[in-house]
Amino acid sequence: MMYLQKNFNYLKFRGDLSFRKIAKETGINTNTLQILSKKNDENMRIEVVLKLADFFQVSLDEFVKKDLTTNF
């Protein structure tokens, strides 16, 4: 998942969001979010990635394959 970690951190920062806020809105465990922020986990469950893409209002393809830091 080429840009997952980078895009997650960028969108989290851009929205001034805490792990707790994202966890509350998505139902994703804060530990999972913290892991994602620190490493590009190739084994991240697709359900987690889909929930995050929906939360950030980007397509799954954009979230994973595009460097959003250069497109927003």
Residue 38 belongs to a domain with what CATH number?
A: 1.10.260
Q: In this structure, is residue 33 part of a structural domain?
A: yes
Angle in degrees, CA 43, 60, 27, rounded to 5: 65
Q: In this structure, is residue 29 part of a structural domain?
A: yes
Look at the chain and report how many structural domains it folds into.
1
Q: In this structure, is residue 62 part of a structural domain?
A: no
Q: In this structure, is residue 24 part of a structural domain?
A: yes
Q: What is the pLDDT of residues 14-65, one digit of tens each?
A: 999 999 999 999 999 999 999 999 987 678 899 999 999 999 999 999 999 9
Please give the model's pTM, rounded to 2 decimal places: 0.91
Q: In this structure, is residue 65 part of a structural domain?
A: no
Q: Which domain holds residue 35?
A: 4-57
Structure tokens at 62: 């954009």
Q: In this structure, is residue 69 part of a structural domain?
A: no
